[in-house]
Amino acid sequence: MSHPTVAPGTNFIRNIIEEDLASGKHKTVVTRFPPEPNGYLHIGHAKSICLNFGLANYYQGRCHLRFDDTNPVKEEQEYIDAIKADVSWLGFDWGAHEYHASDYFEALYGYAETLVEKGLAYVCDLSPEEMRAYRGTLTTPGKESPYRKRSSKESLDLLRRMRAGEFADGSRVLRARIDMTSPNLNLRDPILYRILRATHPRTGNAWCIYPMYDFAHGQSDSLERITHSLCTLEFQDHRPLYDWLCEALEIYHPQQIEFARLNLTYTVMSKRRLLELVNEKHVSGWDDPRMPTLSGMRRRGFPPAAIRTFCERIGVGKSDSVIDMSVLEDCVREHLDQTAPRAMGVLRPLKVTITNYPEGQTEEFTAARHPKDPAMGNRTIPFSREIYIDQDDFMEEPPKQFFRLGPGREVRLRYGYVIRCDDVIKDPVSGEVIELRCSYDAATGGGALPEGRKKVKGIIHWLSVAHALPVEVRLYDRLFSVANPAGVKDRDYRELLNAEALEALAQAFVEPGLAGASSGESFQFERLGYFCVDTKDSKPDRLVFNRSVTLRDAWTKPETKGNQP
Ligand code: ATP
Ligand code: MG
């Protein structure tokens, strides 16, 4: 597997690493990506993955994939498998360095005993409600627990009996003995261990006490000799605890460095909300192409290289910001423009009969599979008397700047002839336009324009009725109809879901040459956007295409109504 280094533009983390290497503090760089296996990865995680693996690759160090699996109630093997698949898909390789915080349960427990023996931790019997009351607030100091004075000997005995399963869930905890008056609430004797009878995906029922995140995380970093422990800004207030624990235990002390998390418009990124969307069936699953998950984006047809480019482009900083979804979509367009073969597709077909073209006759036009990459070769496009065009390319009363088809107007069929609309046929009952009768100019085939002939501005895509391949096309749009769904007052974010985020078109057609397209393959449907073969619902005789992105950003700029190339 390749090792992409996300070309780390100068950022403050790189500066710290450069200094550490120059001063001899470190000889190599060891980072880690530490997901909790309680959901699927999303584009925010991609930022962290690209940063951690990108830096390690750049400095020829290593990056560990560590599952922070300390909460057995919410964790599942399904998530572990999905996370590994997503990191690999993004193009990163942890080699032999897959770890689990649960691998260290015995070592972590040993650290807990050490702290008790040193008088730096104690078993506390306060109820959760009492504990909250004793904790104080941001403006008032906390109060010491009466159990804080317990001897090391008594706490050690109780800790061992906690582990042995003698006490009920939640009846006792192990706490660090730090400072109940600290202005930092994380230092007011934080909980290190709790009693919890839950089957763990990896350790089964071996344990009935589990370490808290803050206790497991830094100690796991230390055991793995992580040099730079990169996390998001909300952990800044936890850093004093991270440092305190390493110092109290006198163990190898990695440096925690915080960076701003990624926020994107028109979506939500909290795993809790994503899980709700899945469980309440607002989407079809974690890999629904509307989801900001990596599996959703993969299914939607976003190339992993586009996501890496995006992570590079947004950079790494120290203040929170919100990135516009169009930045990500632009990266997707840029990559697909280079790699996706071109094809024609008709999404909402309108039949056109070319009245002066002989019945039963067929001819083939030749077109490049990619205008900028001759190595992709050519494709042939059959033409005959009956064709489909897209309903959008005809208007009965077109405005001036509409260069497509209208009564009496001419348009060029891409790669083919110029046709003129002579007649509009309507359904006698509904009045809906059901067919156009056109005539073609035989001298204009294959894009030719005889000298002196009136120029034709519009070019539209089309397919021969007899040859077109019927498919389903799913148009995707942004999951939410407002930029910041989690930030709208008095409205639940679920009320702000974009009802038009999925539109399934069951009567669409594509060029016959796409019949053998493989699962996940991407194409540009000319004038329409980038589409990929759905990996789940496509059948060999009935392909389903997902729209990855439109050709242009229709959200920030008004869509050009004129001819598109
Ligand atoms: P939660 O803590 O609610 O379960 P999380 O988003 O913190 O969710 P983790 O599995 O703990 O999920 O995340 C793994 C790593 O990815 C962490 O180091 C975290 O800082 C990082 N990460 C998560 N979300 C983002 C984001 N939006 N931008 C950048 N990094 C992120
Ligand atoms: Mg987390």
pTM over 0.75? The answer is yes
Q: Is residue 176 classed as helix, strand or coil in its secondary structure?
A: strand
The two tokens of residue 28 are: 């190599």
Please check whether residue 209 is in contact with residue 181, taking contact to mean a CB–CB distance below 8 angstroms: no
Report the nearest atom of ligand 1 relative to the CA of 37.
Answer: 10
Looking at the CA of 272, name the nearest ligand. Answer: 1
Q: Which parts of the chain register pLDDT below 70?
A: 1-10, 554-565
Ligand 1 centroid–CA 44 distance in Å is 7
HSE-up of residue 221 (Cα within 13 Å, Cβ side):
27
If one residue of 41, 217, 232, 262 were mutated to test the ligand 1 pocket, choosing by the most ligand atoms within 8 A of its CB, it would be 232
Residue nearest to atom 18 of ligand 1 (CA): 231
Sign of CA dihedral 303, 3, 258, 241: positive
Domain 12-259 CATH (choose: 3.40.50.620, 3.90.700.10, 3.40.50.300, 3.90.1150.10) = 3.40.50.620
Ligand 2 centroid–CA 552 distance in Å is 35
Ligand 2 centroid–CA 45 distance in Å is 10
The per-residue pLDDT for range 242-258, each reduced to its tens digit, is 999 999 999 999 999 99
Measure CA 212 to chain center.
Answer: 28
Domain map of the chain by residue range? Answer: 12-259
Report the nearest atom of ligand 1 relative to the CA of 263.
Answer: 27
Looking at 74, 148, 160, 261, which residue is catalytic? 261
The per-residue pLDDT for range 402-435, each reduced to its tens digit, is 999 999 999 999 999 999 999 999 999 999 999 9
- What is the arrangement of strands in the sheet containing 433-441, beginning at the earlier edge strand? 459-460, 410-413, 418-426, 433-441, 349-354, 386-390, 462-464
Please check whether residue 87 is in contact with residue 94, taking contact to mean a CB–CB distance below 8 angstroms: yes
If one residue of 45, 86, 214, 221 were mutated to test the ligand 1 pocket, choosing by the most ligand atoms within 8 A of its CB, it would be 45
Measured from the CB, is residue 449 less than 6 Å from ligand 1? no
Please give the pLDDT value at position 8. 54
E strands, 68-158, are 98-100, 121-124
Q: How far apart are CA 502 and CA 531, in angstroms?
A: 14
Distances (CA, A) of 263 to 269, 325, 407: 7, 9, 48
Please check whether residue 342 is in contact with residue 523, taking contact to mean a CB–CB distance below 8 angstroms: yes
Ligand 2 centroid–CA 35 distance in Å is 7
**Active-site residue, 36 included:** yes
Distances (CA, A) of 471 to 58, 349, 503, 520, 533: 44, 12, 14, 15, 10
DSSP-derived letter for residue 405 is B
Q: How far apart are CA 344 and CA 83, in angstroms?
A: 36
Q: What end-to-end distance do the CA atoms of the chain give, in Å?
A: 38
Q: How far apart are CA 413 and CA 388, in angstroms?
A: 11
Sign of CA dihedral 33, 36, 40, 45: negative
Task: Tell me phi and psi for residue 284, to 5 degrees.
Answer: -80, -10
Supply the DSSP string of 185-239, one letter for each residue.
GGGSS-EEEEE----BTTTBTS-SEEE-HHHHHHHHHHHTT-SEEEEEGGGGGGH
The two tokens of residue 223 are: 């055991």
Measured from the CB, is residue 34 less than 6 Å from ligand 1? yes
Report the nearest atom of ligand 1 relative to the CA of 232.
Answer: 20
Please give the pLDDT value at position 89. 98
**Which residues lie across from 8 on neighbouring strands?**
none
Measured from the CB, is residue 211 less than 6 Å from ligand 1? no
Sign of CA dihedral 443, 448, 450, 453: positive
**Active-site residue, 313 included:** no
Q: How far apart are CA 217 and CA 101, in angstroms?
A: 8
Q: How far apart are CA 4 and CA 11, in angstroms?
A: 18
Tokens 């639940």, residue? 492
Measured from the CB, is residue 54 less than 6 Å from ligand 1? no
Please give the pLDDT value at position 11. 87
